[in-house]
Structure 1
Amino acid sequence: MGRDQRGDAAEPPAFVQAAGHPVRWRLLGELARSDRQVHELTALLGEQQSLVSYHLGLLRKAELVRARRSAADGRDIYYRLDLARCGRALATAGGALHPGLRYTPPGAPAPRPARVLFLCTGNSSRSQMAEALLRARSGGVVAACSAGSRPKPVHPGAVAAMAERGVDLRGARPKHLDEFAGERFTHVITLCDRVREVCPEFPGQPATAHWSVPDPAADPAGRPAFDAVADELAERIAFLLHTIAAEPALETP
C-alpha cells in the first residue's frame, strides 16, 4: 500500500490565518483601494472602532498592513496594505496546499488609456515622481498629470532619483491644482496627507485614492529618502496599472 503523503505543516499558512476572518478580509479589500484612517475603516465596515482596531493590529502583526502617522495631524494614523507582501504570501499559501497551486504573480499588464492626476502640496517631489513613473511605465498610454496646492520648484533630489531610474524630470514644472479645475480624470490620487484635506472635486466621478507617502524633502536622510519614495511609488504604480487594466475601457470623444 502506498505511503500517505501529507503536508508538512499542521497549521494553515500565515496568510490564511491572517486574512481568513471576515472582518480582516474586508479590511484588506478596503486598504487595497486606498490608505485609510481607522475611523474611515470603521464607517466603511459598519463595525465598532475597537473591533476594527483589534483586527488591524492582527494584520499589522502579520506584516500585511503598515501604519504611519499623518503629516497633517500627528494624532491620526494612516493604514496601508502591503500588496507586494500579500502576493508573496498568497504564493506560499497555494504551494503549501499543493505544488500545482503555487501562485505566480502576473507580469505587467498591457497599458490601457486612462487619465490620472497625482496631487501633493508642493508638486515638487512625490507627485512629480509619480506622474513621470506612470507615464514611463505605461509607455505614455496613460495620460499622467500632477499638481499641488502650494507649488514650488521641482526638488533636485527628485530629479536625481528619477534619473537613476531612467526617467528625466529636468523639464518638469510645478503646477497649481487650479490648472486642472473642471478637467475629467479616471483617477485622482493624493500623495500628501495635507492636500487630501483640501482636494477639490473633479467632474465625472473619478476613482479616488490616497497614498500616504512621506515627504522626502522633509527627511534629514537626504537623497536616500528620495530613493525610498521612488521605490514605493514604483511599486504602487505597478499595482495601479493592474487596476486600470481591469477597468472598462476609457471612452474617447
Structure 2
Amino acid sequence: MESARSVPSFVQLAAHPVRWQLMTTLSGSDHRVREMVSLIGEPQNLISYHLRLLRDGGLVRATRSSFDGRDSYYHLDLDRCTEMLAGAGAALHPALGRTLVPPVPIPGPAPAQVLFVCTGNSARSAIAEALLRRRTDGGVEAISAGTRPKPDMHPNTVRVLREEFGIDIADRRPRHLDTLAGRRFGTVVTLCDKAREVCPEFGDDDTRRIHWSIPDPAAAGGSDEDTYPAFRASATEIDTRIRYLIEALTAPARPARP
C-alpha cells in the first residue's frame, strides 16, 4: 500500500472536514477568526490550528486588519488552489492536470450589479470597478464609491490602470457612498477593513456581501514613485480576485455573513 506521503498535498489538506469548511467559507469572502468560529461552529483553538496548517500549505494567507491592528483577515489563495488541484489531478491521470478555463463575460439581458467600496474611492475600489468592467466587456454593471472619498483619484491609480491594463480613468472622480442611497446591488464588495465596518446595507437578504482585505497601497507614504510598486501589487491581487468573482456572480447567492 502506498504511504500517505504519496497523496497530493492538496488532497491531504482539503480532506479534513474542518479544513474543507474553512476553505469553503473563505472562498467567498475574507474573514476574521472569530467570524469563522461562528460560521463553522467549532472552538477557536481548533479553527486556529487548522488555519495554521492551511497557511503552512500555501492555501491561505493572512493580512493585518487596517481597522484593528490586533486582528487579521484570512484569505483563500484561489490561484494556488487552482495550481494544486491541477497537480492533484495530474497525479491521478495526466488528462486531469489541466488548469481551469479563464472566466468569460456573463451573458443575459439583465447584467449583474456590483458595488465596490473602500474608504477614499481613489485606489482599491476604483481599480476593482475598472477591471470588472474591462473583464466582462459590459456584461456586469460595476460601480464604486467611498465612505470618505478623496477629492481626486490617486495618480498611481490612473497610472497602474493605464500602464498595466490599458484602461484610462483620468477623468474619473471619487464618489461618496451616500450618493448611492436607495439603490439595490446584487453584490457588494468591501476592499477596505475600515469601510467594511461602516458600509450600510444595499439591497436585501439576497445581496451577496463579500470582503477583500486589501491594504491601502498609498498608506506607506513617500512619493508617488515610492508607492507605485504597492499599487501594482494591489492591482494584480484585485485583478486575480475579479477573475474568480465573475464565476461567483453566476452562482446562487449564499446567505449573508457577518
TM-score clears 0.5: yes
Aligned 8 A contact 2:105 2:135 in 1? no
Q: Supply the distance in 1 between the matched residues of 2:166 and 2:242 (Cα, whole angstroms).
A: 16
Q: Deviations over 1:102-125 (max 9, x none)?
A: 243122223242000000001110
Unaligned runs of 5+ in 2: 254-258
The amino acid across from 1:70 in the alignment is S
Q: 1:234 aligns with which of 239, 243, 246?
A: 239
Q: Is the 8 A contact 2:105 2:139 kept in 1?
A: no
State the match for 1:63 in structure 2. 58
- The within-5 A match list for 1:192-203 is 192-203=192-203
Alignment RMSD, CA only? 1.7
Cα distance in 2 for partners of 1:79, 1:225 equals: 20
Q: Is the 8 A contact 2:217 2:234 kept in 1?
A: yes
Q: Distance in 2 between matches of 1:161 and 1:129?
A: 9
SS at match of 2:82: helix
Aligned equivalents of 1:203, 1:234: Cα separation in 2: 25
| Number of equivalenced pairs | 243
TM-score (norm 1): 0.92
Question: Which structure has the larger Rg over C-alpha atoms?
Answer: 1
The amino acid that maps onto 1:61 is: D
Seen in structure 2, the aligned counterparts of structure 1 residues 10 and 51 have a Cα distance that, compared at 3 Å, is: closer
User: Retained in 1: the 8 A contact 2:158–2:170?
Assistant: yes
Question: How far apart are the structure 2 equivalents of 1:88 and 1:9?
Answer: 20
Cα distance between partner residues in 1 of 2:2 and 2:170:
55
Q: Distance in 1 between matches of 2:16 and 2:4?
A: 20
Contact 2:188 2:210 in 1 (8 A): yes
Q: Which runs of 5+ in 1 are unaligned?
A: 1-5, 249-253
- Paired residues of 1:66 and 1:82 also in contact (CA < 8 A): yes
Match of 1:142 among 134, 140, 143: 140
Q: Distance in 2 between matches of 1:20 and 1:117?
A: 35
Q: Counterpart of 2:115?
A: 117
Q: Secondary structure at the match of 1:197?
A: helix
Deviation at 1:76, TM superposition (A): 0.5
Secondary structure, counterpart of 2:185 in structure 1:
coil
Q: Residues 148 and 8 of structure 1: is their aligned pair in 2 closer, same or farther, counting only changes over 3 Å?
A: same
Superposed, 1:67-146 pairs within 5 Å as 67-112=62-107, 113-146=111-144
Question: What is the TM-score normalised by the length of structure 2?
Answer: 0.90
State whether residues 124 and 151 of structure 1, in contact with CA within 8 Å, keep that contact through their aligned partners in structure 2.
yes
Whole-Å separation in 1 of the counterparts to 2:100 and 2:4: 23
Query: Residue 189 of structure 1 contacts residue 209 of structure 1 at CA under 8 Å; is this kept in 2?
Result: yes
Change (3 A) 1:8 1:119: same
Distance 1:174 1:87 in 2: 35
- Matches of 1:79 and 1:138 in 2, distance apart? 27
Distance 2:167 2:180 in 1: 24
Matches within 5 A, 1:1-253: 10-112=5-107, 113-152=111-150, 153-164=152-163, 165-205=165-205, 206-220=207-221, 221-247=226-252
Contact 1:70 1:77 in 2 (8 A): yes
- Give distance in 2, aligned partners of 1:10 and 1:123: 48
